[in-house]
Chains A and B, each alone.
Chain A
């Protein structure tokens, strides 16, 4: 299997957390992977994008026109990184309903206003990353890991907050199915 995922967001949204979750999923199934993370300057609220390449790869960076999936935690951060997604790939993005969103040529596309849901108190904003991961699980039909594998990875990362994160993941998946 070869699957390349870009996760785009900004500092403070927990982009790196998602890379770690996916890395653990791959590790648990003994599949090779290479990921790259953003630390340093990019953490002070600036744009952050991380790559994870699952399967046999020799460098951690996703080049343009190569990603199978992009999970965008915010509208503009998704648009900024579109060049990395191949046309046959899938984009799942958080974007405010009231904002205009362009027509895009990708095979898979799903968008949700996760900010609005967080504002309504449907889930804590700190869980936005996990929420979008759940949304991607439903909307990317080629997603390389099962729901259970993702839950196991979340649990092994930080058992203390795992329960809450799994509730968020389940809710995101329900919301995704409803909005389909």
Chain B
């Protein structure tokens, strides 16, 4: 059956068509839609599938892994940095293995489009010694999802699928199974203590030996089933061979055709483990072998030989995502192409255009809370560690000093409070991130009496990645305030108010409490996300703003510190509110403007906006 699908949709269908009946994981771009689409298919076709988010990637992985031990077919999904969080579990699972198939999906983001790092999950698979599959297109993603589940069951080891953003978010017509005959698996845990409860060194050492053997067997399997036929197709054209992994294939094919060049191209579907000896043997027929892969030299390092060129020989770009221009340059570098750069554009087309970075939505409560924090805790005397989520965009308000990885705001607040005790440390973290990895470091801060302020921005959703449900909002009302109180400390609570003075007054109170405190002062601010259709309407006051041009003195306060997107200078040099963008939150009417130039636009709704 032909179907137009995005890569992540294709993976979700692949899981269903492989009879995977347990999917867990944690959201993160570019992986998030996979689990959501499985949930949609489940509801549409009324399938007996567990498809739910975990509190973080480690939890998500372990839930799925236990399912696979008990004979279910399972999947854990996450973005590449999520795998760092799940890696402790993965490293051991790679020794112990599983009975039912388990597919670990780690979606990479070459080019740092929405990620803190450009790390390569294929290298992680190699580190853990599990096989990894690298799709080039959504069609590959569908096929390799099914293949990976089978492979995992065959070799009794988790198998990784590593799609990059340009696969997850690519769209094409997919050929998929005609019908969905979903057969859930029967889960039955079979006690096998030496295996599932393997202890060092007695049980783990033999498992380590098995792991090494298994990798050798899978190498042969890779050659016999995937690679040999690819090499057999080669004709030795121009004595140049291009070895590609994932998207490298599609980019290479197009570059060759754009440049009217001929070379053999091998598509590596399983970039680890590679049958290195067999491959090197085939390299003998070529003068040059170029490796095209992203983002790290995973294949290249395994097959290194004197005639192999790639990132480590400085023949192709080492950072940033794939482009045909980079491949063209690599062809030039290895002396395969001498023509012009057809991807270069005339310099006359380079216009200086003002950057348009992402910003907090108009009406987002995070903006007002940060505004109040910076009003009360002055920059010179404060340090503002923050975390990962929509609120990270408050960087633009000068309200954030550091970002590391999820949960780090709390432990870094500890570190800053010890190392620079003269400043007030005001850390901010979202509710999603607090549940993910903020609790353990807060316990540490209470344990060690670290004196700082932690502001938990509770908008009851994981907004940044598409508003997935937070743990507090599903089955039980898991209350952040009670979690904090359970640590034996007070948790101050504030309901975000569109009247800015209320927020400022609250933080003044926080400042007083902190002055007398000996340990952490924790605050939860109850907010909402303006895009949250269920909750937002309850809270938005529908107070739309306009500017009184007589009052605006063009002082830049609103465009540099408050920064709501509808605010911009008009031709007369005064601020104007873009009526298409104003969300009616009323946040700017109070305090934000020194001359109170923002006034309510009573006619806003009447004008049919």
Contacts and interface: CB of A to CB of B under 8 A. Distances in A.
Interface in B336-393: 342-346, 348-351, 353-361, 390, 393
Interface string A64-80: 11100000000011011
Contact of A83 (B30, B169, B172, B349): B349
Interface in A9-33: 10-11, 19-20, 23-24, 26-27, 32-33
Contacts of B29: 39-41
Interface string A33-65: 111111111111111000010000111110111
A63 B322 CA distance: 10
A47 B6 CA distance: 21
A63 B346 contact: no
A77 B137 CA distance: 27
B170 A64 contact: no
A121 B353 CA distance: 29
Interface string B237-261: 0000000000101110110000000
A42 B113 contact: yes
A38 B354 CA distance: 20
B249 A38 contact: no
A82 interface: yes
A70 to B, nearest CB: 12
A27 B170 CA distance: 15
Interface in A76-93: 76-77, 79-80, 82-83, 87
A45 B359 contact: yes
B7 to A, nearest CB: 9
A41 B116 CA distance: 12
A52 to B, nearest CB: 8
SS of A interface (majority): mixed
B353 A80 contact: yes
Contact of B113 (A40, A65, A82): A40
B324 interface: yes
A12 B326 CA distance: 31
Nearest to A19: B171
Contacts of B6: 37
A103 to B, nearest CB: 9
A98 interface: yes
A61 B323 contact: yes
A59 B354 contact: no
Contact of A65 (B169, B171, B345, B353): B345
Contact of A36 (B169, B345, B348, B350): B169
B437 interface: no
B114 interface: yes
SS of B interface (majority): loop
Q: Which of B171, B325, B342 has the most CB of A within 10 A?
A: B171
A57 B30 contact: no
Contacts of A20: 171
Contacts of B447: none
Given A61-B166, A125-B580, A46 B358 contact: yes
Contact of A38 (B32, B169, B254, B571): B169
A44 B172 contact: no
A24 B254 contact: no
A34 B170 contact: yes
A107 to B, nearest CB: 14
B351 A41 contact: no
Contacts, number: 140
Contact of A59 (B4, B30, B247, B342): B247
B173 interface: yes
A95 to B, nearest CB: 12
Contacts of B346: 87, 105
Interface in B419-447: none
B519 interface: no
Interface residues of A, number: 49
A19 B172 CA distance: 11
A59 B258 CA distance: 13
Given A39-B30, A44-B390, A63 B343 contact: yes
Contacts of A121: 608
Contacts of B4: 23-24, 27
B359 A37 contact: no
A20 B9 CA distance: 14
A59 B135 CA distance: 12
B173 A33 contact: yes
Contacts of A35: 170-172
Nearest to A115: B580
B361 A45 contact: yes
Nearest to A32: B173
Contacts of A43: 358
Contacts of B355: 47
A131 B253 CA distance: 36
B171 A37 contact: yes
B254 A65 contact: no
B565 interface: yes
B472 interface: no
A46 B114 CA distance: 12
Nearest to A126: B580
Contact of A58 (B2, B137, B325): B137
B465 interface: yes
Contacts of B580: 118, 125
A43 B353 CA distance: 19
Contact of A11 (B169, B170, B358): B358
B251 to A, nearest CB: 5
Nearest to A106: B349
A15 B19 CA distance: 35
A83 B343 CA distance: 9
Contact of A76 (B344, B354, B358, B359): B354
A53 to B, nearest CB: 9
A83 B113 CA distance: 19
Nearest to B571: A98
Interface in B131-148: 136-137
Contact of B171 (A57, A60, A98): A60
The 3 A-B pairs at the shortest CB distance, nearest first, are namely A40-B29, A59-B250, A46-B358
15 contacts: A23-B171, A36-B169, A39-B114, A40-B113, A41-B113, A44-B361, A45-B356, A45-B359, A47-B356, A59-B136, A59-B322, A63-B324, A63-B343, A66-B343, A77-B356
Given A35-B172, A58-B250, A83-B350, 16 more contacts: A27-B173, A36-B171, A40-B29, A40-B113, A41-B358, A42-B114, A43-B358, A44-B393, A45-B358, A57-B250, A58-B251, A64-B345, A80-B353, A82-B345, A102-B351, A105-B346
Interface of A: 10-11, 19-20, 23-24, 26-27, 32-47, 52, 57-61, 63-66, 76-77, 79-80, 82-83, 87, 98, 102, 104-105, 118-119, 121, 125
